[in-house]
Structure 1
Amino acid sequence: MSRSKRLTDAERMEIVRAAAEGVSTSVLAERFGVSVRAIQYTLKADAERRTDAAIPVSAVSVKVTAEELASFDAVLTAAGIESRAEGLRRLIQAAGGVFVPDAQMAAEMARYRASLHEVGNGVVQMARQMTQANRTGRGAGSEFTELRLAQMRGLARFILDSADEIDLLLRRRRDAMQLQATAALREFAHAAE
């Protein structure tokens, strides 16, 4: 096998086609009389060429509500982008860090998860005590004291407050992501001018 052999453009195209069909690099190297590394380099160069050419080959389809579509159209208009396809393309290209959950959100969600876990344990224990009271014939009335009622009300209040806090947290995160996405659209709109 000669390492100094140079592949022609036609051979390179044949290598790319054969590799796409599943032919291994070692078989291709033997067939074309070059090293495995030369085959790998040819395939890598072709992949980079396709990336650089940025030929759209994938389609995105998503169903949204009428309100979501109207909001998206308003953002596109404000950014000076003429089509939804171009807006989506720009968002996808700029999505590097926009849609990644941040550390603060992860920490808050972990805190809520731990709190809800504690609440769940408390509810399970109360339910066990009430079930045991029913089994022993003492009746739920003797176990279901004012203290238990106050605890149940407190747990219900905690769960409702937690749900409100989680909703607020997620709304803030969504608003921050919307601002970042709008900024990305504006940046691309200005770059296109």
Structure 2
Amino acid sequence: MSRGRRLTETERLSIAEERSQGVAAGDLATRYGVSLKSVYNAANHAADRQTANGSRPKVIGVRVSPKELQRFDAALARYGVLHRSDALRCLILAADDILRPDEGMTDELRNLSAALNRVGNNVNQVARRLNEAKLKGERLPYTPASHAEIRDLAVLVFDMADQIQEMFRARRRQLNLEVTKALAGLARLQAEQVVEHGAE
């Protein structure tokens, strides 16, 4: 048989069952006339071939630039992941954790926005009084209180910039933890397969 032939669904399920019972991947590859990679793919993904209601799995695709793909592969390499499709499957399964909104960050941004609106309204009032006085040819009413409002706005803007930067850093750390958790088992499994393949 050709080493490049396609396995049937029944063969894939049989391979997965035999691998779970400890049959060597090399023996299965020889018996079914396929590559070791085909055996590993069948074993790794058999559980995903059918959902609880028996429907067929869906194939999805996405277009990316060569640079985006290079960055993705580099990221997978840092996690020790060998196959894009395995990584994408893990990330899809972990999407609920990875993509869950950060409610704490949302609340903090809402509070910062409210504070900015309050101070911004005060500064708008100062600007309006100055503009009206200028149009009437009157002395500009820029008081110490006006100066304090402008200073408060500047302080708030700089504080907000620092707080937002720290929130995004914290969010990134959390996302890195979720991605690491999602891909950790896959990297271990692939490392075991590489060792097993070398021993056969």
Q: Shorter-chain-normalised TM-score: which range? A: 0.5 to 0.7
1:175 to 173, 176, 191: 173
Cα distance, 1:186 vs structure 2: 0.7
Q: CA RMSD in A?
A: 2.9
Equivalent residue, structure 1, for 2:94: 94
Counterpart-to-counterpart distance in 2, 1:64 and 1:155: 44
Specify every segment of 5 or more residues in structure 1 that has no aligned partner in the other structure, as ranges: 1-45
TM score, norm. by length of structure 1: 0.61
Match of 2:117 in 1: 117
Q: Which residue of 2 aligns with 1:161?
A: 159
**Deviation sequence 1:43-72 (CA, Å, 0-9, x none):** xxx99433xx3231x212345977x954x4
Could you tell me how far 1:84 is from its partner in structure 2?
3.2
Q: 1:61 to 1:119 in 2, by over 3 A?
A: farther
Q: Deviations over 1:104-143 (max 9, x none)?
A: 112211211111111221121111111121122114xx31
TM superposition shift of 1:156:
1.2
Deviation at 1:181, TM superposition (A): 0.8
**What CA distance in whole angstroms lies between the structure 1 residues aligned with 2:121 and 2:58?**
55
Inter-CA distance 168–55: structure 2 relative to 1 (3 Å threshold): same
Matches within 5 A, 1:1-193: 48-50=53-55, 53-56=56-59, 58-62=60-64, 70=71, 72-139=72-139, 142-190=140-188
Q: TM-score, normalised by structure 2?
A: 0.59
Distance 2:103 2:183 in 1: 24
Instruction: From the superposition, tell whether residues 69 and 78 of structure 1 become closer, same or farther in structure 2 (CA, over 3 Å).
Output: same
Deviation sequence 1:16-47 (CA, Å, 0-9, x none)? xxxxxxxxxxxxxxxxxxxxxxxxxxxxxx99
Partner of 2:18: none
State, as a whole percentage, how many aligned pairs show the same letter: 34
Contact kept in structure 1, 2:98 and 2:179, CA below 8 Å = yes
Partner Cα distance (2:144, 2:93) in 1? 59
Q: How many residue pairs get matched?
A: 141
Secondary structure of 1:49's aligned partner = coil
Return the alpha-carbon distance in structure 2 between the equivalents of residues 62 and 145 of structure 1: 57
Determine the C-alpha separation between the residues in 1 that align with 2:131 and 2:90. 59
The alignment partner of 2:132 has SS state of helix
Q: Report the equivalent of 1:34.
A: none
SS of the aligned residue for 2:97 comes to coil
